[in-house]
Amino acid sequence: MSSTATQPDETTLLRALVALQIAERQDRSSGEAGCPSELVLADAGVALADIAALTGRKYETVKTTVRRAREASAEKPSKKKAEDG
């Protein structure tokens, strides 16, 4: 995967902005720390190189942040499962 930033299309950017707003609102309402913005953007379809450019972070740092956040969320049991069990 190249670390060269591309020009994201308008749909991807709009999706990313909405995803960030939703994540921020959920964080405020739950009172808990949410997932990193890098993960929210990646899940919204923004390329890692674009996330690095948008956040001013190195590509490898963004890649590591997203990987670790995904690993952490996979290890955490969901609230739904906890409520059902």
Rounded mean pLDDT, 30-46: 82
Nearest residue to 16 via CA among 42, 43, 44: 44
Residue 37 structure tokens: 């913005």
Nearest residue to 54 via CA among 24, 22, 12: 12
Write down the residue that tokens 């990313």 correspond to.
16
State the average pLDDT for the chain: 79
Q: Are the C-beta atoms of 16 and 46 separated by less than 8 Å?
A: yes
pLDDT of 34 above 90:
no
pLDDT band at 80 (very low <50, low <70, confident <90, very high): very low
pLDDT band at 49 (very low <50, low <70, confident <90, very high): very high
pTM comes to 0.66
